[in-house]
Amino acid sequence: MTEDEAKAWVAERFGDDATERLSAFLDMVVAEAPHQNLIAPSTIEAIWARHAVDSLQL
């Protein structure tokens, strides 16, 4: 799943407002990643597919 596909998957299921709020949260996670061990640096480019969609499927 590409990042665009992952964003579309989230928007389709949760709506635009929730997708925008999740995007803001993921931006904060990326900004904080160098300071805290929140996610692996190698997964930042795939944060939507690797972390957002994965978590929302639980």
- φ/ψ (deg, to 5) at 39: -140, 160
Cα(40)–Cα(27) distance, rounded to whole angstroms? 15
Cα(57)–Cα(19) distance, rounded to whole angstroms? 15
Cα(13)–Cα(52) distance, rounded to whole angstroms? 13
Question: What's the pLDDT score for residue 58?
Answer: 85
The residues spanned by each domain of the chain are 3-56
Alpha helices in 1-58 (DSSP H): 3-32, 47, 53-56
Q: Is the pLDDT of residue 7 over 90?
A: yes
CB 52 within 8 A of CB 2: no
pTM (2 d.p.): 0.87
Name the band, by pLDDT with cuts 50, 70 and 90, for residue 4. very high
Query: pLDDT, tens digit, for every residue of 11-49?
Result: 999 999 999 999 999 999 999 999 998 999 999 999 999
